[in-house]
Amino acid sequence: MKETEDIIRSYKLAQAAGKKTALATVVHVEGSSYRRPGARMLVTEDGELTGAISGGCLEGDALRKALLAIAQQQNKLVTYDSMDEEDNAIGIQLGCNGIVHILFEPIDPANTNNPVALLEKLSTQTNTSVLVTLFSLDDAAGEQPGTCLLFADENYHGSINNQTLEIEIKNDVMTVVESNKSLIKKYILTEKRSLTGFIERISPAVELIIAGAGNDAFPLVQMAAVLGWHVTVMDGRKTHANANRFSTAKKIMVGKPVELVGQISINEQTVFVLMSHNYNYDVAMLRQLIHAACNYIGVLGPKKKLEKMLNELSGEGLQINDADKEKIYGPVGLDIGAETAEEIALSVLAEIKAVLAKKEGTTLRRKKGFIHDHSMVTTELSNTQ
Protein backbone atom coordinates (compact mmCIF):
# COMPACT_ATOMS: atom_id res chain seq x y z
CA MET A 1 0.00 0.00 0.00
CA LYS A 2 2.95 2.35 0.57
CA GLU A 3 3.80 2.32 -3.13
CA THR A 4 0.20 3.16 -3.96
CA GLU A 5 0.11 6.02 -1.47
CA ASP A 6 3.43 7.37 -2.82
CA ILE A 7 2.04 7.26 -6.36
CA ILE A 8 -1.12 9.10 -5.33
CA ARG A 9 0.94 11.77 -3.56
CA SER A 10 3.26 12.25 -6.55
CA TYR A 11 0.32 12.38 -8.95
CA LYS A 12 -1.32 15.18 -6.98
CA LEU A 13 1.93 17.16 -6.96
CA ALA A 14 2.32 16.64 -10.71
CA GLN A 15 -1.28 17.65 -11.31
CA ALA A 16 -0.81 20.84 -9.27
CA ALA A 17 2.28 21.64 -11.34
CA GLY A 18 0.43 21.01 -14.60
CA LYS A 19 2.55 18.00 -15.54
CA LYS A 20 1.23 15.11 -17.61
CA THR A 21 1.67 11.61 -16.19
CA ALA A 22 1.43 7.93 -17.05
CA LEU A 23 1.05 4.84 -14.88
CA ALA A 24 3.12 1.73 -15.61
CA THR A 25 1.72 -1.52 -14.19
CA VAL A 26 3.12 -5.05 -14.24
CA VAL A 27 0.04 -6.94 -15.42
CA HIS A 28 1.40 -10.40 -16.21
CA VAL A 29 4.59 -12.37 -15.56
CA GLU A 30 5.72 -15.65 -17.09
CA GLY A 31 8.55 -17.28 -15.16
CA SER A 32 10.69 -15.27 -12.75
CA SER A 33 10.80 -11.53 -12.25
CA TYR A 34 11.86 -9.06 -9.56
CA ARG A 35 8.33 -7.62 -9.22
CA ARG A 36 5.05 -9.46 -9.54
CA PRO A 37 1.74 -8.40 -11.16
CA GLY A 38 0.40 -5.34 -9.38
CA ALA A 39 3.72 -3.51 -9.12
CA ARG A 40 3.26 0.10 -10.29
CA MET A 41 5.27 3.17 -11.19
CA LEU A 42 4.11 6.72 -11.95
CA VAL A 43 6.03 8.65 -14.60
CA THR A 44 5.80 12.40 -15.15
CA GLU A 45 6.46 14.08 -18.48
CA ASP A 46 9.73 15.50 -17.13
CA GLY A 47 10.98 12.04 -16.14
CA GLU A 48 10.23 11.78 -12.43
CA LEU A 49 9.59 8.18 -11.30
CA THR A 50 7.58 7.08 -8.26
CA GLY A 51 7.25 3.40 -7.42
CA ALA A 52 9.02 0.55 -9.19
CA ILE A 53 8.27 -2.15 -11.75
CA SER A 54 11.62 -3.94 -11.45
CA GLY A 55 14.83 -3.83 -9.47
CA GLY A 56 15.93 -0.89 -11.60
CA CYS A 57 16.79 -2.73 -14.81
CA LEU A 58 13.57 -1.82 -16.66
CA GLU A 59 13.01 1.70 -15.46
CA GLY A 60 15.16 3.40 -18.11
CA ASP A 61 13.39 1.83 -21.06
CA ALA A 62 10.04 2.04 -19.27
CA LEU A 63 10.51 5.81 -18.96
CA ARG A 64 10.79 6.08 -22.73
CA LYS A 65 7.70 3.94 -23.25
CA ALA A 66 5.73 5.97 -20.70
CA LEU A 67 6.70 9.24 -22.37
CA LEU A 68 5.54 7.82 -25.70
CA ALA A 69 2.20 6.85 -24.12
CA ILE A 70 1.87 10.39 -22.75
CA ALA A 71 2.73 11.95 -26.10
CA GLN A 72 0.27 9.76 -28.00
CA GLN A 73 -2.32 9.69 -25.18
CA GLN A 74 -2.78 5.99 -25.78
CA ASN A 75 -2.45 2.89 -23.57
CA LYS A 76 0.44 0.65 -24.57
CA LEU A 77 1.40 -2.91 -23.62
CA VAL A 78 5.13 -3.67 -23.70
CA THR A 79 6.74 -7.07 -23.21
CA TYR A 80 10.23 -7.55 -21.78
CA ASP A 81 11.69 -11.01 -22.29
CA SER A 82 14.87 -11.87 -20.36
CA MET A 83 15.12 -15.10 -22.33
CA ASP A 84 15.28 -13.12 -25.58
CA GLU A 85 18.88 -12.42 -26.65
CA GLU A 86 17.85 -9.20 -28.38
CA ASP A 87 16.35 -7.77 -25.18
CA ASN A 88 19.56 -8.55 -23.34
CA ALA A 89 21.60 -7.12 -26.21
CA ILE A 90 20.00 -3.68 -25.93
CA GLY A 91 20.93 -3.53 -22.26
CA ILE A 92 17.68 -4.37 -20.52
CA GLN A 93 19.18 -7.42 -18.80
CA LEU A 94 16.37 -8.33 -16.46
CA GLY A 95 18.50 -10.64 -14.38
CA CYS A 96 15.54 -13.03 -14.05
CA ASN A 97 14.51 -15.89 -16.28
CA GLY A 98 11.07 -14.65 -17.27
CA ILE A 99 8.77 -12.52 -19.40
CA VAL A 100 7.24 -9.35 -17.97
CA HIS A 101 4.24 -7.60 -19.53
CA ILE A 102 3.84 -3.94 -18.56
CA LEU A 103 0.88 -1.71 -19.33
CA PHE A 104 1.47 2.02 -19.77
CA GLU A 105 -1.55 4.28 -19.25
CA PRO A 106 -1.54 8.07 -19.73
CA ILE A 107 -3.62 9.63 -16.96
CA ASP A 108 -6.53 11.90 -17.87
CA PRO A 109 -7.29 14.15 -14.85
CA ALA A 110 -10.74 14.90 -16.30
CA ASN A 111 -11.71 11.23 -15.94
CA THR A 112 -12.95 10.78 -12.37
CA ASN A 113 -12.27 7.03 -12.65
CA ASN A 114 -8.81 7.20 -14.21
CA PRO A 115 -6.31 4.59 -12.93
CA VAL A 116 -4.81 6.82 -10.23
CA ALA A 117 -8.28 7.98 -9.11
CA LEU A 118 -9.25 4.32 -8.66
CA LEU A 119 -6.07 3.72 -6.67
CA GLU A 120 -6.94 6.68 -4.46
CA LYS A 121 -10.43 5.27 -3.82
CA LEU A 122 -9.07 1.89 -2.76
CA SER A 123 -6.36 3.47 -0.58
CA THR A 124 -9.04 4.77 1.80
CA GLN A 125 -10.62 1.34 2.31
CA THR A 126 -10.26 -0.70 5.49
CA ASN A 127 -11.33 -3.91 3.74
CA THR A 128 -10.01 -5.82 0.76
CA SER A 129 -10.60 -4.22 -2.66
CA VAL A 130 -10.48 -5.71 -6.15
CA LEU A 131 -9.05 -3.80 -9.12
CA VAL A 132 -9.62 -4.90 -12.73
CA THR A 133 -7.12 -4.20 -15.52
CA LEU A 134 -7.79 -5.37 -19.08
CA PHE A 135 -5.17 -5.82 -21.80
CA SER A 136 -4.56 -7.83 -24.96
CA LEU A 137 -1.60 -10.20 -25.01
CA ASP A 138 -2.59 -11.47 -28.46
CA ASP A 139 -2.59 -8.01 -30.02
CA ALA A 140 -0.10 -5.76 -28.24
CA ALA A 141 -0.48 -3.10 -30.92
CA GLY A 142 -4.26 -3.12 -30.61
CA GLU A 143 -6.60 -1.52 -28.10
CA GLN A 144 -5.58 -1.88 -24.44
CA PRO A 145 -8.56 -0.97 -22.21
CA GLY A 146 -6.39 -0.68 -19.10
CA THR A 147 -7.38 -0.15 -15.45
CA CYS A 148 -11.13 0.21 -15.66
CA LEU A 149 -13.06 -1.19 -12.68
CA LEU A 150 -12.76 -1.15 -8.89
CA PHE A 151 -14.79 -3.07 -6.34
CA ALA A 152 -14.48 -1.47 -2.92
CA ASP A 153 -16.77 -1.21 0.09
CA GLU A 154 -19.44 -3.25 -1.71
CA ASN A 155 -19.56 -0.74 -4.59
CA TYR A 156 -18.22 -0.65 -8.14
CA HIS A 157 -16.35 2.34 -9.57
CA GLY A 158 -15.63 2.65 -13.29
CA SER A 159 -17.09 0.60 -16.13
CA ILE A 160 -16.33 -1.75 -19.02
CA ASN A 161 -17.47 -0.93 -22.55
CA ASN A 162 -18.97 -4.34 -23.09
CA GLN A 163 -22.00 -5.28 -21.01
CA THR A 164 -21.59 -9.04 -21.43
CA LEU A 165 -17.91 -8.84 -20.53
CA GLU A 166 -18.65 -6.61 -17.54
CA ILE A 167 -21.14 -9.14 -16.14
CA GLU A 168 -18.58 -11.93 -16.56
CA ILE A 169 -15.84 -9.91 -14.91
CA LYS A 170 -18.04 -8.90 -11.98
CA ASN A 171 -18.73 -12.59 -11.36
CA ASP A 172 -14.96 -13.17 -11.36
CA VAL A 173 -14.49 -10.27 -8.96
CA MET A 174 -16.71 -12.10 -6.50
CA THR A 175 -14.60 -15.23 -7.01
CA VAL A 176 -11.50 -13.23 -6.06
CA VAL A 177 -13.24 -11.83 -2.98
CA GLU A 178 -14.27 -15.31 -1.84
CA SER A 179 -10.98 -17.05 -2.64
CA ASN A 180 -8.67 -14.23 -1.43
CA LYS A 181 -6.53 -14.83 -4.53
CA SER A 182 -5.96 -12.58 -7.51
CA LEU A 183 -6.98 -13.93 -10.89
CA ILE A 184 -5.62 -13.68 -14.42
CA LYS A 185 -8.16 -14.76 -17.01
CA LYS A 186 -8.44 -14.72 -20.77
CA TYR A 187 -11.79 -13.63 -22.22
CA ILE A 188 -12.68 -14.55 -25.82
CA LEU A 189 -14.70 -11.71 -27.35
CA THR A 190 -14.79 -12.80 -30.99
CA GLU A 191 -12.95 -15.33 -33.15
CA LYS A 192 -10.23 -12.74 -33.73
CA ARG A 193 -10.21 -10.77 -30.49
CA SER A 194 -9.56 -11.59 -26.85
CA LEU A 195 -8.65 -9.72 -23.71
CA THR A 196 -6.80 -10.79 -20.59
CA GLY A 197 -8.05 -9.56 -17.25
CA PHE A 198 -5.82 -9.03 -14.24
CA ILE A 199 -8.35 -9.13 -11.40
CA GLU A 200 -6.25 -8.01 -8.47
CA ARG A 201 -6.99 -8.51 -4.80
CA ILE A 202 -5.57 -5.59 -2.81
CA SER A 203 -5.41 -5.63 0.98
CA PRO A 204 -5.67 -2.41 3.00
CA ALA A 205 -2.59 -0.99 4.70
CA VAL A 206 -1.41 -2.74 7.84
CA GLU A 207 -2.81 -1.00 10.92
CA LEU A 208 -0.25 -1.37 13.70
CA ILE A 209 -1.58 -0.49 17.15
CA ILE A 210 1.18 -0.09 19.73
CA ALA A 211 0.10 -0.13 23.37
CA GLY A 212 2.96 1.64 25.09
CA ALA A 213 4.70 4.93 24.37
CA GLY A 214 8.08 4.26 25.93
CA ASN A 215 11.37 5.09 24.25
CA ASP A 216 11.71 1.57 22.85
CA ALA A 217 8.58 2.21 20.76
CA PHE A 218 10.41 4.90 18.73
CA PRO A 219 12.18 2.55 16.26
CA LEU A 220 9.08 0.37 15.93
CA VAL A 221 6.97 3.38 14.93
CA GLN A 222 9.64 4.75 12.60
CA MET A 223 10.34 1.45 10.82
CA ALA A 224 6.64 0.70 10.42
CA ALA A 225 6.16 4.14 8.87
CA VAL A 226 8.92 3.38 6.35
CA LEU A 227 6.98 0.25 5.39
CA GLY A 228 3.89 2.38 4.82
CA TRP A 229 2.00 0.86 7.74
CA HIS A 230 -0.51 3.05 9.56
CA VAL A 231 0.62 3.33 13.17
CA THR A 232 -1.42 4.20 16.24
CA VAL A 233 0.33 4.75 19.56
CA MET A 234 -1.74 4.46 22.71
CA ASP A 235 -0.84 4.89 26.35
CA GLY A 236 -2.34 6.10 29.58
CA ARG A 237 0.23 8.90 29.89
CA LYS A 238 -0.11 12.18 27.99
CA THR A 239 3.51 12.95 28.74
CA HIS A 240 4.55 9.91 26.68
CA ALA A 241 1.85 9.51 24.03
CA ASN A 242 1.96 12.74 22.04
CA ALA A 243 2.72 13.93 18.51
CA ASN A 244 5.99 15.58 19.55
CA ARG A 245 7.43 12.21 20.51
CA PHE A 246 5.82 10.17 17.71
CA SER A 247 5.61 12.46 14.70
CA THR A 248 5.37 9.61 12.17
CA ALA A 249 2.39 7.94 13.87
CA LYS A 250 -0.96 8.33 12.15
CA LYS A 251 -2.83 8.58 15.43
CA ILE A 252 -2.11 9.10 19.12
CA MET A 253 -4.59 7.85 21.73
CA VAL A 254 -4.45 8.45 25.48
CA GLY A 255 -6.60 6.58 27.98
CA LYS A 256 -7.41 3.23 29.51
CA PRO A 257 -7.59 0.11 27.30
CA VAL A 258 -11.31 -0.34 27.93
CA GLU A 259 -11.86 3.19 26.58
CA LEU A 260 -9.51 2.99 23.61
CA VAL A 261 -10.05 -0.43 22.03
CA GLY A 262 -13.72 0.30 21.33
CA GLN A 263 -12.63 3.25 19.19
CA ILE A 264 -10.56 1.07 16.85
CA SER A 265 -12.01 -0.46 13.71
CA ILE A 266 -10.38 -3.90 13.52
CA ASN A 267 -9.94 -5.60 10.14
CA GLU A 268 -7.83 -8.38 8.63
CA GLN A 269 -4.75 -6.11 8.59
CA THR A 270 -5.02 -4.80 12.16
CA VAL A 271 -2.24 -5.98 14.48
CA PHE A 272 -1.38 -5.13 18.08
CA VAL A 273 1.86 -4.99 20.06
CA LEU A 274 1.64 -4.67 23.85
CA MET A 275 4.80 -3.01 25.17
CA SER A 276 3.82 -0.51 27.85
CA HIS A 277 6.20 -2.01 30.47
CA ASN A 278 3.23 -1.72 32.80
CA TYR A 279 1.86 -5.16 33.61
CA ASN A 280 -1.58 -3.88 34.59
CA TYR A 281 -1.94 -1.82 31.40
CA ASP A 282 -0.84 -4.74 29.21
CA VAL A 283 -3.15 -7.26 30.86
CA ALA A 284 -6.05 -4.79 30.63
CA MET A 285 -5.31 -4.42 26.93
CA LEU A 286 -5.13 -8.17 26.41
CA ARG A 287 -8.45 -8.52 28.22
CA GLN A 288 -10.05 -6.28 25.57
CA LEU A 289 -8.33 -7.99 22.63
CA ILE A 290 -8.42 -11.70 23.48
CA HIS A 291 -11.70 -12.24 21.62
CA ALA A 292 -11.21 -9.50 19.00
CA ALA A 293 -11.23 -10.45 15.31
CA CYS A 294 -7.52 -9.80 14.76
CA ASN A 295 -4.79 -12.19 13.62
CA TYR A 296 -1.87 -10.93 15.69
CA ILE A 297 -1.28 -9.74 19.26
CA GLY A 298 2.38 -9.40 20.17
CA VAL A 299 3.35 -9.24 23.85
CA LEU A 300 6.76 -7.86 24.78
CA GLY A 301 8.49 -9.62 27.65
CA PRO A 302 9.32 -13.16 28.79
CA LYS A 303 7.02 -16.14 28.33
CA LYS A 304 6.32 -16.23 32.07
CA LYS A 305 4.74 -12.79 31.84
CA LEU A 306 2.32 -13.92 29.13
CA GLU A 307 1.48 -17.10 31.09
CA LYS A 308 0.73 -14.98 34.15
CA MET A 309 -1.52 -12.70 32.08
CA LEU A 310 -3.48 -15.60 30.60
CA ASN A 311 -3.84 -17.28 34.00
CA GLU A 312 -5.13 -14.04 35.49
CA LEU A 313 -7.71 -13.61 32.73
CA SER A 314 -8.79 -17.23 33.04
CA GLY A 315 -9.11 -16.78 36.78
CA GLU A 316 -11.54 -13.94 36.13
CA GLY A 317 -13.76 -16.40 34.30
CA LEU A 318 -12.72 -15.33 30.79
CA GLN A 319 -13.00 -18.26 28.38
CA ILE A 320 -9.74 -18.56 26.40
CA ASN A 321 -9.57 -21.32 23.79
CA ASP A 322 -6.74 -22.53 21.56
CA ALA A 323 -7.77 -20.21 18.71
CA ASP A 324 -7.48 -17.24 21.07
CA LYS A 325 -4.00 -18.33 22.15
CA GLU A 326 -2.91 -19.01 18.58
CA LYS A 327 -3.04 -15.33 17.64
CA ILE A 328 -0.95 -14.25 20.65
CA TYR A 329 2.81 -14.03 20.04
CA GLY A 330 4.83 -13.81 23.21
CA PRO A 331 7.70 -13.33 23.52
CA VAL A 332 7.12 -11.10 20.51
CA GLY A 333 9.33 -11.19 17.41
CA LEU A 334 11.35 -13.60 15.29
CA ASP A 335 14.45 -15.20 16.78
CA ILE A 336 17.19 -13.19 15.03
CA GLY A 337 19.34 -12.52 18.08
CA ALA A 338 17.87 -9.05 18.62
CA GLU A 339 19.22 -7.09 21.59
CA THR A 340 18.78 -3.37 20.98
CA ALA A 341 15.45 -1.56 20.62
CA GLU A 342 16.09 -1.19 16.89
CA GLU A 343 16.88 -4.88 16.45
CA ILE A 344 13.83 -5.87 18.46
CA ALA A 345 11.67 -3.60 16.29
CA LEU A 346 13.07 -5.33 13.22
CA SER A 347 12.27 -8.78 14.60
CA VAL A 348 8.74 -7.72 15.58
CA LEU A 349 7.92 -6.21 12.20
CA ALA A 350 9.36 -9.26 10.41
CA GLU A 351 7.18 -11.56 12.52
CA ILE A 352 4.06 -9.50 11.84
CA LYS A 353 4.76 -9.54 8.10
CA ALA A 354 5.29 -13.30 8.16
CA VAL A 355 2.06 -13.90 10.09
CA LEU A 356 -0.02 -11.72 7.76
CA ALA A 357 1.55 -13.41 4.72
CA LYS A 358 1.04 -16.84 6.32
CA LYS A 359 4.76 -17.61 6.10
CA GLU A 360 7.13 -19.27 8.57
CA GLY A 361 9.81 -16.59 8.44
CA THR A 362 12.63 -18.98 7.52
CA THR A 363 15.64 -18.17 5.33
CA LEU A 364 14.96 -18.12 1.59
CA ARG A 365 17.87 -20.45 0.81
CA ARG A 366 15.91 -23.24 2.49
CA LYS A 367 12.84 -22.56 0.36
CA LYS A 368 12.15 -24.88 -2.52
CA GLY A 369 10.67 -23.46 -5.70
CA PHE A 370 9.89 -19.82 -6.43
CA ILE A 371 10.72 -16.98 -4.05
CA HIS A 372 7.45 -15.16 -4.78
CA ASP A 373 4.01 -16.61 -4.21
CA HIS A 374 2.69 -18.17 -7.43
CA SER A 375 -0.71 -19.06 -5.99
CA MET A 376 -2.53 -16.58 -8.25
CA VAL A 377 -5.28 -18.36 -10.15
CA THR A 378 -4.85 -18.37 -13.94
CA THR A 379 -7.75 -19.25 -16.21
CA GLU A 380 -6.94 -19.53 -19.86
CA LEU A 381 -10.34 -19.29 -21.51
CA SER A 382 -13.76 -17.69 -21.11
CA ASN A 383 -16.15 -17.21 -23.99
CA THR A 384 -18.12 -13.98 -23.53
CA GLN A 385 -19.71 -13.92 -26.96
Give the residues of the chain that fall short of pLDDT 70.
31-34, 55-56, 82-97, 369-385
* Every domain range in the chain assigned CATH 3.40.50.720: 207-363
Phi, psi of 118 (to 5 degrees): -65, -40
Q: What is the DSSP letter of 140?
A: T
Q: What is the reported pLDDT for 94?
A: 47
Residue 22 pairs in a beta bridge with: 43, 106
pLDDT digits (tens, 9 = 90+) for 120-140: 988 887 788 999 999 999 888
**CA distances (Å), origin 229, targets 169, 254, 262:** 31, 20, 21
**CA distances (Å), origin 245, targets 205, 217, 271, 378:** 23, 10, 21, 48
Residue 298 pairs in a beta bridge with: 273, 329
Q: Which amino acid is at 59?
A: E
**CB 43 within 8 Å of CB 66:** yes
Residue 157 pairs in a beta bridge with: 150
Q: Please report the DSSP string for 214-247 in residue order.
A: STTHHHHHHHHHHTT-EEEEEES-TTTSSTTT-T
Class of domain 207-363: alpha beta
Closest CA to 270 of 224, 306, 301: 224
